[in-house]
Chain A
Amino acid sequence: MNADDILVAIFSFLGMAFTYWFFLMKKEEVVSVTNSVNIIVEGGYSPNAISIPQGKTTKISFTRSDPSGCLEEVVLGDFKIRKFLPLGKKVTIEVTPKKKGDFSFTCGMNMFHGKIKVV
């Protein structure tokens, strides 16, 4: 193994570790919502984790500014909601969770994920 190989091995290992840390070890910031929340859809969801109260109706608005086809739909499978998000337009949905727990919302192709924490 020459010096090149050792360097490539070290950088590759660091690259993989960085990828793991960057994508899979990010901290989740949960935004507490009482009545309504606006979620910006651009390369994911901001905020991507919200906490909402159980038994109360919460309005969740999505505004998509990302042209990626992946994000054109939002799916809240546990609430039986699948909505098309027209580019640049606000789409509001209402959820009244009956159970406490963590529920996910995703894009239509299940690539981007967000979390709804019912408390």
Chain B
Amino acid sequence: MLQKKTFTIDGMHCASCVKILEKALCRVEGVDNAVVNLATTQATVAFDPKRVTDEHLKSAVANVGYHAQLGAEEKSEDEQTLQKTKELKELKIKVAISLFFGLLILWGSFPQIMETAPQILRNFKVMLLLAIPVQFWAGLSFYKATIPALKHRTANMDTLVALGTSVAFSYSAIVTFFPGIIEKIGIDPMPYFDVSTIIIGLILLGRYFEARAKAGTSEAIKKLIGLQAKTARVVKDGKEVDIPIEQVAIGNIIRVRPGEKIPVDGVILEGESSIDESMVTGESIPTDKTKGDTVIGATINKTGTFTYKATKVGKDTMLAQIIKLVQEAQGSKAPIQRLADQVSAYFVPVVIMLAIATFAIWYIFGPNPVLLFALLNTIAVLIIACPCAMGLATPTAIMVGTGKGAEMGILIKDATSLETAHKVNTIIFDKTGTLTVGKPKVTDIVAGDKIKKDEILKLAASIEKGSEHSLAEAIVTHAENQKAKLYKVSNFKAIPGMGVEGMISAKTVSFGNTKLASLRQVALGKWAKNIETLEAEGKTVMILSVGTKLIGLIAVADTPKESARAGVKELIKQGIEPVMITGDNERTAKAIASQLGIKRILAEVLPAEKEAQVRQIQKEGKVVAMVGDGINDAPALAAADVGIAMGSGTDVAIEAADITLINKDLRSVAAAIDLSKKTMRTIKLNLFWAFGYNVLLIPVAMGALYPFFNILLNPIFASVAMATSSVSVVTNSLLLKRWHKAK
């Protein structure tokens, strides 16, 4: 009987690795089949367990230069969750027992209430018996972490807790067995087992809450991973077969029925449907798609049935890229963390030194009984110090912030981008395709006296046929709709930022903007008035000329996106100046900008000049974000302080941009900036709390308030403060989950 095994392979980079590994594994005698998934870097092998061992598989993988995590290295999918659940369960029991025993000891030893306690609880040896399991079973983890750390000459919070509680426990044990010695030095022989046990109980309780809260910070990534479909219905030889997602290959034809999840990215071949892409793009309204449209894996097909061709599988799908990006962002370090990094390197040793100093000061200068004061204050210093809060302040907020962004279709490249984004005060929008729909349409054709409008369109479309410009597409499509027969064009030439020209019937025909007209010495004459009127309406006017004679005009307009005005308004509300950059002339640009509420325009900018324009605005002292499609604007995006690529999930866009907005809703730009501001506010608050807590309370624990107000910090209260400190930092980060886009 065949057995199936899934294991992780290290060192895979590309699709060819998949092939090599599959071949190598299939070649092992006894292996029935092997499927390798690049996205998860896992192999699933079906084999005869009598003939194949882990070693066989491992060496087959090693022979082709990879490493299989088999045997002791095997990882199950949700190992982290399982381990965490187990740990939390154990922790809960430890907390309950520690606090129960601790409270019993407290009842038997606390001055005002001990009289009500049964006699047995007032017995020091019984207290010791109750304290031992708490100290050495519940508190074992503190020792287990401290001893190897000391071997490496490092220390952490566990070291401080182990030291503090050991001091309390040891002193109490001495009191229990040798009360005479303590009495001789003038101290009432009372043990402090309540201090050691309750501190352990409370710190473990804090850890329990902290672990639960921390699990919430990585929820977004788990949700994203959970979105992936498990199977795909592939059409092969006219039959539909359900196959595992790992086996779907590029070019496979896949059928999707209503209510089903689309397995991988692709292009619709047949059928139409409404698709809910909210889980990937954050776009709440379902999108209607038909033949030729692209579909995204992991989105839900709502109404129709369609077949589509898989174009991206494995690690190339949009979902896999999003997961990778979010994981990377969550692993990155924010510049603001630097100070916490530096402090944390010295923190624990400095606290230990302060604890020693506290002991000496109280022993030498303190009131009687000096030893008791010195010991209790030393324990308070060791226990109150909370380096964890400083360590958790930034990364937890980054994790929640980037995760929340991903849920809304806002992908943040790293913590540095997030940090820079909150300082942005100017946002430059590329006009075409970003502020506008990007599908311009012919609105007006103006012909000269002796020529028909159809002829103008025919000539313009013929010459534009060879161009890749979006305006060219509008003209050619318009001509095709009119069923115009196009001319043959020779010597076609595109002049960037100006237009196109070529030879038709041995005559030079040029078609472009006024710059091209002036370059070719075409006089505008009476046409200038027409051009002015059309441009004032926000239309882009192109001039058709034969030789140096102007024979007609074609106006093309691109409509602003529905969300553009609201998106710009949101930014202005946040105090950010929106700027529009375009190749259009000033008048056309102004008309569009005024519709959207944008006051500053950078018009007639050639594609290659965009980067320089970005730098120019930076020179004014502005922190600039540039919003573009991420492909044509890559240099400008890279030059900006924050490059925002919009409406695209391609590799190029993600590479070039600091923030990628998967949906095309312009309000996402303001939302991304707002999210960065909120995340940074959370980080600052966390750091302020974490630093402030330690800076204020360590001196209090040392007894700084005693000379003035007779106030000393009981070590038990120190442990309450310490336990709540890191929990409150993580909880504050989790509050970011409540952030939502402005509606």
Residues of chain A at the chain B interface (Cβ within 8 Å)? 1, 4-5, 8-9, 12-13, 15-16, 19-20, 22-24, 26, 42-46, 48, 59, 66-71, 75-84, 86-92, 94, 104, 106, 108-113
Contact = CB atoms under 8 A, between A and B. Distances in A.
Interface in B280-321: none
> Which of the listed residues B11, B211, B364, B387 has the most CB atoms from chain A within 10 Å of its own CB?
B364
A92 B69 contact: yes
Contact of A78 (B10, B333, B340): B333
B341 A110 contact: yes
Contacts of B360: 8-9, 12-13
Given A59-B67, A70-B388, A109-B392, 17 more contacts: A8-B364, A12-B360, A22-B153, A23-B349, A23-B352, A59-B10, A66-B144, A66-B145, A67-B145, A69-B87, A69-B207, A69-B211, A70-B145, A90-B72, A94-B10, A109-B388, A113-B154
Contacts of A91: 75
A19 B72 contact: no
Interface residues of B, number: 61
Contacts of B207: 69
Interface stretch (B130-138, B155-163, B566-574, B586-594): B155-163
Given A24-B346, A84-B80, A92-B69, A110 B391 contact: yes
B152 A46 contact: yes
A48 to B, nearest CB: 7
B230 to A, nearest CB: 23
A22 B145 CA distance: 17
B79 interface: yes
Interface stretch (B324-332, B462-470, B523-531, B673-681): B324-332
B710 to A, nearest CB: 23
Interface centre among A45, A75, A80, A88 (most CB of B within 10 A): A80
Contacts of B158: 68, 70
Given A8-B363, A86-B83, A94-B10, A110 B390 contact: yes
Given A9-B364, A23-B153, A86 B75 contact: yes
A75 to B, nearest CB: 6
Contacts of A112: 149, 154, 156
Contact of B74 (A8, A13, A59, A89): A89
B359 interface: yes
B414 interface: yes
A81 B153 contact: no
Contacts of A12: 356-357, 359-360
A12 B11 CA distance: 53
Contacts of B44: none
Interface of B: 10-11, 67, 69, 72-75, 79-80, 83, 87, 141, 144-158, 207, 211, 327-333, 337, 340-341, 344-346, 348-349, 352-353, 356-357, 359-360, 363-364, 387-388, 390-392, 395, 414-415
Nearest to A48: B152
B72 A43 contact: no
Q: Interface residues of B: mostly helix, strand, loop or mixed?
A: helix
A80 B345 contact: no
B155 A23 contact: yes
A43 B356 contact: no
A84 B218 CA distance: 11
Contact of A26 (B144, B153, B356): B153
18 contacts: A8-B359, A8-B360, A9-B360, A9-B364, A19-B349, A44-B149, A69-B211, A70-B158, A75-B333, A77-B337, A79-B331, A90-B69, A90-B73, A94-B10, A109-B387, A110-B337, A111-B387, A111-B391
Nearest to A41: B148
A82 B346 CA distance: 23
Contact of A16 (B147, B357, B414, B415): B357
A103 B590 CA distance: 49
Given A19-B356, A44-B154, A110 B331 contact: no
B328 A80 contact: yes
A88 B83 CA distance: 11
Nearest to A82: B331
Contacts of A86: 75, 79-80, 83
Contacts of B155: 23
Contact of A111 (B74, B87, B148, B157): B157
B10 A92 contact: yes
Nearest to A45: B152
Contacts of B364: 1, 5, 8-9
A13 B327 CA distance: 47
B72 A88 contact: yes
A75 B582 CA distance: 42
A12 to B, nearest CB: 4
A109 B363 contact: no
A80 B332 contact: yes
Nearest to A111: B156
Contact of A82 (B72, B149, B330): B330
A117 B570 CA distance: 45
B633 to A, nearest CB: 24
Contacts of A84: 80
A43 B349 contact: no
Given A20-B349, A42-B148, A90-B69, A76 B156 contact: no
A111 B348 contact: yes
A87 B145 CA distance: 13
